[in-house]
């Protein structure tokens, strides 16, 4: 019984110490990311996507003029630094960040 308890504690210690080594590594930047997927995106036009896989792919490729603040419904700037709405509410003017092509 004591031998089994000792082995269980030893395994736990090895697992904890082994995971600390992985957490201490410096992040690697650049290179190529390869991941598996259960299907293919049907479209990559962000204005025309309707399926889940296409939406997740275009969200990783494109940014919008504005975006929702995480966890809220508030709108915050993304590619646009600021926006103006006409008095009649029919025209929107977006001022883009420097260097952005839209």
Indicate whether 15 pLDDT > 80: no
Q: What is the pTM of this model?
A: 0.49
Q: How would residue 27 be classed by pLDDT, with cut points 50, 70 and 90?
A: confident
Phi–psi pair at 10, nearest 5 degrees: -60, -45
Give the chain's domain count: 1
In a domain, 81, yes or no: yes
Residue 86 lies in a domain: yes
In a domain, 24, yes or no: no
- Its domain, for residue 94, covers 41-102
Which pLDDT belongs to residue 8? Answer: 79
- What CA–CA distance (Å, rounded) separates 63 from 96? 12
- Enter the tokens of residue 66: 């504005």
The answer to the question of residue 55 being in a domain is yes
Residue 17 CA to residue 86 CA, distance in Å, equals 60
Within a domain: 8: no
Kindly state the average pLDDT of the residues 23-48: 84
Instruction: Report residue 82 as tokens.
Output: 């600021």
pLDDT at 21: 60
């Amino acid at each position: 019984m004591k031998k089994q308890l000792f082995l269980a504690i030893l395994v736990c210690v090895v697992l904890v110490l082994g995971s600390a080594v992985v957490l201490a590594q410096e992040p690697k930047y650049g290179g190529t990311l390869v991941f598996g997927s259960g299907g293919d995106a049907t479209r990559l036009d962000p204005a025309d996507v309707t399926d889940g896989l296409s939406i997740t792919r275009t969200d990783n490729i494109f940014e919008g003029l504005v975006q929702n603040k995480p966890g809220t419904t508030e709108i915050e700037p993304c590619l646009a630094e600021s926006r103006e709405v006409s008095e009649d509410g029919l025209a929107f003017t977006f001022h883009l960040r420097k260097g952005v092509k839209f």
